[in-house]
Every structure is written in C-alpha cells, then in structure tokens.
C-alpha cells in the first residue's frame, strides 16, 4: 500500500518503497545483474543486454563470458538489445531469450561490435538517460534517437519505443543468447499470423539442457514489410525450396534465425510491443498475453506491476537513513525475483520429465532454484515473510521429485530441467525447514522425498558416502566439502523425521549427520580430504581453493561449515579457546593474492581477511561466536560486513547474489537475526542494523524491532527485551516472531562482556 504508516514507534517513511530500490546495484568486478523490468517471482525479466561473449568457441572456454552472466555490464558503451529472460547474479548462466532491438538506419541483422556499432544493429547509450526501478526501465538509444521503455507482467514483457517521425524497424534475433555457442539453438520458428501478431518458439540447449521457449507477440502498429535471414545451410529443405523464405514469407524457421519488421512512424505515435512467453506452446503464450495484458496499455501495465512490487516490499518497514533504506529495500527486492513462475495462466506447465502437466487448484509451478545458495537464507526468509509463496515453492519441489526419473528433489531447477549445479542434496533442507516451520505441506510425501534424495547411489558419490561414512577423495575432487554438506543435509532429514514421529529414520540420519567428523584431521584440527583407505591428502594447503578437496572455498572456510553441530565442531577444532582464536584469525589474517587471483567467484572486495562473504559457504560464520563466551565479536564483524559489503551503487555487492541469497543474508542480518541452521526453528541473534523495523506477517501479526542508540559507533548489544521482558537466549524461535510482538535492543559503543550464554541459552547443536 503506497505511503502507509505504522502507529507503533516512529512514523515510517511516507515515500513509496519502490523509490528506495535500485535495480542497477550489481556485483563488484562481475556486474552480474539485470537492471530491467520484472514482476515479483515472474517468468519474464525484460532487460538490456550490452554484449554477447560466447561461452566457448570450438570448445575453448571464453573467460570474458563470465562477466555477462546476466547480459549487462554497467561500464559497456552500447546496448545490443532487450531480451526477456535473465538469471539474477548467478555464477554460471543461460537464457537471454527473444532479443528485440529497435533501429532506424539500414537493417543489419548482425549485432555489430562495441567499437563499430554501425556494423550491426546495436546502439550507443548513456547512463544519463538510463533509469531503472522495480517494474520499469528506460534508456535513450543514441544512435537511433529512440526512447526505449520496458515493463512486465509475470509472463509478458512489454516494450514501448518512441521513434523519430519516419520509418523504423524492429529486429527480432532468435540466435542471440547468454552463454551462447555454436549449436546452442536447436530450432527456432516464427510465424506472422496477421499484420499485428507473431507466434513462435525457440528450443535451446545449454545450462538448461532442453529449454522450450514459446512466445506470442502483439504490435500496436501494423507491420509494413518484413524479412529474415537464416545463416544455417541445411543439406535438405524439401519442397520449401520453391519459396523465397527471407522476404515477406509468413513462416520462418532455422537454427540461426534473425528477422526484422518495418513500421511507419509518421504519426508520431510510439510502438508498443507485448511479448508473452510459455514453456508449453504458442497457444499458451497467446493466452498468457490476453489474460495479463488484454485491453491494457503500457502505462496501465507499468502501474500494475509497480503496485505489486509495493505490496510485496511492504512486508517489512524499516526506519533509518535514506541510504541505509535504499540498501535494504534493494536487497529485499532481489530476494523476490526468484524462483520464477513456470506455468501458463491456464495452469499447464512443462515438468522435469518434459511432459505437460496441469497444476492443481491453487497451485503454481516454479523454476530457477539455485538451492546450494538459497537454502541458507532466501528460502528461510520466504518461510517467514512470504509463506504463501513458500508453500508453492515446496509443493513444486515435491512435484519435481515425483516427476524425476532419479527419485530426487531438485539440485538446481532450470526451465523445466535439472542442471545438477553444485554439491549436496539441499532440497531436503528446504523441504524440512518448511514443514518444521508449519507450512501446510504433504508431510509424508516430504519425508519420502527427502529419504529418496539422500540415497541416489550414483549422485556425486552418495553411494560411497553411505559405504565409508565420508566421500573418499578417490571418487570426488571436492570430497571433503561434499561430505560436510551431505552431513548437514542428513541432519535435516533426521530433524524432519523426528518432527513427524519416526524414530527409526531419526536415528539413522542422526548417525549420518555426524559424518563430517570423518574428514577432520586430528593432527591439524581442520577438515581434510582422505582416500578410501583412510589416508589424509598429502601436500595439503589450507588456503588453496583448487585441488584440495573443496569447492568454492578452502579448508579454512569450509572447516567452519557444520551448522547443525557447532559444539561438535568446537570439539573437532580443539576446544573453545582455539575455536575463537580461529574465528578471530579468519577475519584478520592475510590471504595472499595467489589464492584468489584466478577464482572467478572471489574478488578482493569480497574478502575480510580469509573470510569470504562473496561466497555462500561463509555466510553463517560470523554468527558462530554465539556458541562461545565472546558473542560480542560477532556483533562487530556483522556490522562491518553489512557496512562494507553492501552499497547503493552499480558495484555495490561483493559477490554473486545467486538468486537472492546474498541479499537475503543482508535482510535477515539487518533485522538482527539469522537462520544459521535451516531445519531448526531457531534464528541466531546477531546485531540489528536499522533503528526500527516491523515485519507485517501473513497471519496478521506484526513483529516490531527497535535498536535504541544504534549508530555507526554503537554496534554492540547491551541488552535485549522480548515483549517487555529481559531476554537471555542467543536465539529467537520461529514462534517468537510469528506470534508477533516487540523485540528491543539497547546498543552501546562498548561490548557487554557479561552478556554471555549458558549451554542451555545457546542455539541448537547436535552435540550438547
């Protein structure tokens, strides 16, 4: 609701919350953001692309492709066009489907180059004319003097191009793609149904092994002339050879297809283009277009999507400086982009089995689940503030399990495909956390799916993990990290089984949950890979991230990854004093440049000593001080991370946002607590980062948080009250928050070293 206020405490901002969101905020050195228009959790992310670097040329990886995971780089001087699907700051990529570009000069069907834009259809642009906000993007294409404006619904990208008077054209490139390569497009088809309407499809193979993108296009002006080019030279075309298929022929197809459409702009009226997508068929796309945009113009649709964003953002109201509010609401915005709707308005969707299914009443199918990242904070955040959405996400995951030939929950869901990215079977964490936090899920199916997912013998050495009690280095190059993540996943299965009253499964998986101990080397008290004979790796480097048995982290980082058994971890590290010394050292030690110089995912901006906030395995680490007698150290480090690693500028993030995980960490941490161990009902108290905050929960309750005295100097908690009573635990429960109430922090410039916690007051640990 625009401009709403709360009666409790200080009046909150009267400005619309969308005014605090900056979609231009990207990743330092990487730029993995798309600044364009999308609807909350929408299929369409309509955004400018500034370059296309192939993923590989003749099988040779092109390193610069990584910079274009989202298609856009803030420093680039030209825009190639506007495509309809993007990933939110991931470390690998795909998509960039259905590229549209307006032009006024001679039609050229190549992109051209940034150094010579006139050689193709791209255009120069300036940030002076560029504006991005939730649900809207605009820029002037300088080479054409065309004003481009974008907005979106869940399944439809809506363009408005204001041309100079005269003639102009639209290029529709069905060859372009992010992480493109020769042969990525398996087939594209385009039909001119009438002077205003196109339909078609594109089938690609990439990170999504078989991605079906059907589309329907509606122009506000009639096409005057059109044509295409297909650079593919098939050996046989049959009787189609009787036609000139490149000139005003209404059916176009090929693996390298680019088309153009001419329009008359003498009347001075802009051209509106609506492009609806469907994973099913062109009829579904046409219906999506009619249902979501029928009878509505660009301005109406822009207002509607921005009202949706305002509603979704208003679940959290904060009061602090304008700059801090911009960082916070930008982060909250980014947590609400993915997962993405993957279902037509009529309920049909393409399943992971590539059959067409129809969702049940009240159900919605989704895609784009980067679960290795998002199980940590983004999904737990949805379980707290967006429970109705989270129920749909988890129901989709159970459908994925039922459709999977492997009998497994998803690892990385991508446009109706499993792409198997990263390690662990963390779908069990998301499902368990949702059930334990009270979402209305089929509980027996949930437990069945979790057990099955944990026992696919050929998935990443799972069979060997069960046999040996750890993943031997003989079977995986990242065996130590895999073992540690499986160990946590197995704990979530045990937690779910215990919640459902199944003691046999609980006992079995609690035993498996201790497997992390099998890769701790007692001689050095760090995790270390070992072979099937039990011999630890020789020539071992604790700081190296390559060929040392860990993925996207070194032993120093990963050795702290035991979120379900911190007390057991403290034992393995040699006791509390050594544990605290190691935590301290992690944040202060010098990490030589050689250890991150060649790592695509890690840059110096994301480092704090050897602590790597730019990558997910470290995200819980500052909260581990809560299990020690020096919890105030975590308060200092958390404040430092929130202040240094999150900025309101184009390179304001210190690492890949990974579908909202980096941003979800900031949202939770600003509130003053964090789900260190999803699958438990606890949130570990850290330190608040805003003076006043209110959660407007779906059950009608509000949870109000104040941080009295908070300032740049006053970053230490002196005392805590919950509902007016002194609170002496190091954690909140899910019920504490969902029941509503008041959480009051009193802050000071000096740590309260008497505020320490007994074992009973500390957060959960498997080992007590």
Q: pLDDT digits over 740-759, tens only?
A: 999 999 999 999 999 999 99
Is 463 a residue whose pLDDT tops 80?
yes
Specify burial of residue 241 (Cβ count, 10 A radius: 0-12, 13-18, 19+). Answer: exposed
For 495, how many CA atoms within 13 A lie in the half-sphere containing its CB? 28
Nearest to 668 by CA among 655, 680, 651, 686: 686
Is 9 a residue whose pLDDT tops 50?
no
* pLDDT, position 604: 82
Q: Are strands 251-254 and 185-194 parallel, antiparallel or unpaired?
A: antiparallel
What is the per-residue pLDDT across 395-415, written as a single tens digit (0 to 9) for each?
999 999 999 999 999 999 999
Can you tell me the mean pLDDT for 579-584? Answer: 98
What is the per-residue pLDDT across 55-69, written as a single tens digit (0 to 9) for each?
999 999 999 999 999
Euclidean distance between CA atoms 358 and 361, whole angstroms: 9
Q: Are 572 and 578 in contact (CB under 8 A)?
A: no
Can you tell me the mean pLDDT for 569-587? Answer: 98
Nearest to 536 by CA among 482, 464, 472, 475: 472
Euclidean distance between CA atoms 429 and 485, whole angstroms: 11
**What is the chain's mean pLDDT, rounded?**
96
What is the per-residue pLDDT across 135-151, written as a single tens digit (0 to 9) for each?
999 999 999 999 999 99
Euclidean distance between CA atoms 385 and 134, whole angstroms: 19
Euclidean distance between CA atoms 407 and 405, whole angstroms: 6
pTM of the model: 0.97
Q: Are 66 and 99 in contact (CB under 8 A)?
A: no
Q: Are 363 and 392 in contact (CB under 8 A)?
A: yes
Q: 128: which residues sit within 8 A by CB, 6+ positions away? A: none
* pLDDT, position 545: 94
Q: What percent of the chain has pLDDT over 90?
A: 95
Nearest to 382 by CA among 285, 305, 315: 315
Can you tell me the mean pLDDT for 582-604? Answer: 90
Specify burial of residue 162 (Cβ count, 10 A radius: 0-12, 13-18, 19+). Answer: middle
Radius of gyration of the chain (CA): 26
Please report which residue ranges of 563-674 form alpha helices under DSSP H: 566-572, 576-588, 632-644, 661-671
Nearest to 671 by CA among 649, 699, 633, 697: 697
Is 449 a residue whose pLDDT tops 50?
yes
List residues bridging with 536 in a β-sheet. 530
Euclidean distance between CA atoms 247 and 264, whole angstroms: 18
What are the distances in angstroms from CA 183 to CA 205, 206, 255, 721?
8, 10, 8, 61
* pLDDT, position 4: 34
* DSSP output for 436-494: HTT----HHHHHHHHHHHTT-TTSTTHHHHHHHSS--TTT-TTHHHHHHHHHHHHHHHH
* pLDDT, position 1: 26
Euclidean distance between CA atoms 572 and 527, whole angstroms: 9
Handedness of CA 228, 233, 234, 240 (dihedral sign): positive
Q: How many residues does the chain have?
A: 768
* pLDDT, position 11: 62
What are the distances in angstroms from CA 595 to CA 63, 75, 90, 136?
18, 27, 22, 40
Is 3 a residue whose pLDDT tops 90?
no
* pLDDT, position 146: 98
What is the per-residue pLDDT across 367-397, written as a single tens digit (0 to 9) for each?
999 999 999 999 999 999 999 999 999 999 9
* DSSP output for 149-189: EEEE-SSEEEEEEEPPSSEEEEEEESS--TT--TT-EEEEE
Is 5 a residue whose pLDDT tops 80?
no
Residue 649 banded pLDDT, cuts 50, 70, 90: very high
For 448, how many CA atoms within 13 A lie in the half-sphere containing its CB? 10
* pLDDT, position 145: 98
Within 195-307, strands assigned E span: 197-204, 211-219, 225-230, 251-254, 257-264, 271-278
What is the enclosing helix (H) or strand (E) of 472? none
DSSP for residue 547 = S
Q: Are strands 741-748 and 702-708 parallel, antiparallel or unpaired?
A: parallel
What is the per-residue pLDDT across 85-125, written as a single tens digit (0 to 9) for each?
999 999 899 999 999 999 999 999 999 999 999 999 999 99
Q: Are 431 and 450 in contact (CB under 8 A)?
A: yes
Nearest to 191 by CA among 201, 181, 183, 178: 201
């Amino acid at each position: 609701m625009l401009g709403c206020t709360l009666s409790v405490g200080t009046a909150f901002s009267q400005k619309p919350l969308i005014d605090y969101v900056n979609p231009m905020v990207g990743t330092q050195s990487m730029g993995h953001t798309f600044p364009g228009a999308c609807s909350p959790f929408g299929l369409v992310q309509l955004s400018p692309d500034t370059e296309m670097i192939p993923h590989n040329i003749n099988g040779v990886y092109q390193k610069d492709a990584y910079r274009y995971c989202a298609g856009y780089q803030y420093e680039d001087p030209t825009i190639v066009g506007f495509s309809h699907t993007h990933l939110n700051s991931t470390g690998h990529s795909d998509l960039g489907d259905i590229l549209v570009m307006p032009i006024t000069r001679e039609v050229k069907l190549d992109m051209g180059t940034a150094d010579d834009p006139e050689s193709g259809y791209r255009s120069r642009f300036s940030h002076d004319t560029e504006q991005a906000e939730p649900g809207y993007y605009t820029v002037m294409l300088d080479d054409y003097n065309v004003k481009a404006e974008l907005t979106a619904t869940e399944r439809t990208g809506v363009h408005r191009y204001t041309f100079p008077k005269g003639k102009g054209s639209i290029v529709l490139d069905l060859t372009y793609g992010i992480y493109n390569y020769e042969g990525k497009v398996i087939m594209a088809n385009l039909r001119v149904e009438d002077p205003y309407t196109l339909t078609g499809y594109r089938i690609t193979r990439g990170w999504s092994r078989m991605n079906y993108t059907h589309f329907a296009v509606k122009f506000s002006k009639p096409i005057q002339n059109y044509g295409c080019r297909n650079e593919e030279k098939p050996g046989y075309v049959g009787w189609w050879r009787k036609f000139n298929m490149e000139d005003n022929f209404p059916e176009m197809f090929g693996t390298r297809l680019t088309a153009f459409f001419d329009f008359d702009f003498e009347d001075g009226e802009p051209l509106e283009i609506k492009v609806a997508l469907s994973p099913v068929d062109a009829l579904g796309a046409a219906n999506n277009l009619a249902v979501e945009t029928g009878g509505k113009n660009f301005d109406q649709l822009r207002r509607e999507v921005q009202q949706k964003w305002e509603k979704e953002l208003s679940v959290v109201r904060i009061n602090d400086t304008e700059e801090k509010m911009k960082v916070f609401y930008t982060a909250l915005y980014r947590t609400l982009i993915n997962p993405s709707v993957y279902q037509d308005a009529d309920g049909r969707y393409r399943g992971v089995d590539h059959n067409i299914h129809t969702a049940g009443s009240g159900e919605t199918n989704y895609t784009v689940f980067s679960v290795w990242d998002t199980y940590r904070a983004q999904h737990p955040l949805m379980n707290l503030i967006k429970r109705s959405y989270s129920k749909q996400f988890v129901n989709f995951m159970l459908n994925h399990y039922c459709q999977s030939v492997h009998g497994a929950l998803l690892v990385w869901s991508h446009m109706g495909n499993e792409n198997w990215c990263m390690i662990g079977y963390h779908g069990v964490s998301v499902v368990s956390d949702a059930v334990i936090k009270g979402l209305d899920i089929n509980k027996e199916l949930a437990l069945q799916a979790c057990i099955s997912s944990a026992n696919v013998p050929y998935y990443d050495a799972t069979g060997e993990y069960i046999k040996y009690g750890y993943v031997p280095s003989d079977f995986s190059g990242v065996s130590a990290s895999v073992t540690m993540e499986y160990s946590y996943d197995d704990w979530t299965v045990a937690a779910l089984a215990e919640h459902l009253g199944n003691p046999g499964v609980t006992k079995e998986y609690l035993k498996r949950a201790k497997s992390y101990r099998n890769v701790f080397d007692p001689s050095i008290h760090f995790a270390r890979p070992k072979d099937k004979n039990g011999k630890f790796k020789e020539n071992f480097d604790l700081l190296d991230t390559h060929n040392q048995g860990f993925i996207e982290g070194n032993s120093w980082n990963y050795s702290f990854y035991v979120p379900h058994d911190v007390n057991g971890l403290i034992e393995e590290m040699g006791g509390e004093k050594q544990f605290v010394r190691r935590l301290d050292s992690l944040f202060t030690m010098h990490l030589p440049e050689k250890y991150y110089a060649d790592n695509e995912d890690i840059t110096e901006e994301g480092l704090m000593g050897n602590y790597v906030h730019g990558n997910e395995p470290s995200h819980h680490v500052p909260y581990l001080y809560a299990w020690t007698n020096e919890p105030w150290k975590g308060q200092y480090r958390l404040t430092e991370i929130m202040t240094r690693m999150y900025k309101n500028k184009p390179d304001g993030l210190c690492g890949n946002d990974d579908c909202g995980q980096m941003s979800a960490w900031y949202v939770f941490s600003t509130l003053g607590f964090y789900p260190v161990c999803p699958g438990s009902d606890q949130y570990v108290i850290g330190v608040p980062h805003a003076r006043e905050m209110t959660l407007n929960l779906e059950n009608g309750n509000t949870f109000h948080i104040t941080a009295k005295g908070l300032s740049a100097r006053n970053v230490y908690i002196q005392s805590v009250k919950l509902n007016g009573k002194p609170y002496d635990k190091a954690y909140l429960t899910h019920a504490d928050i969902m029941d509503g109430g008041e959480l009051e922090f009193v802050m000071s410039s000096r740590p309260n070293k008497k505020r320490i916690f007994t074992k009973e007051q500390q957060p959960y640990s498997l080992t007590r």
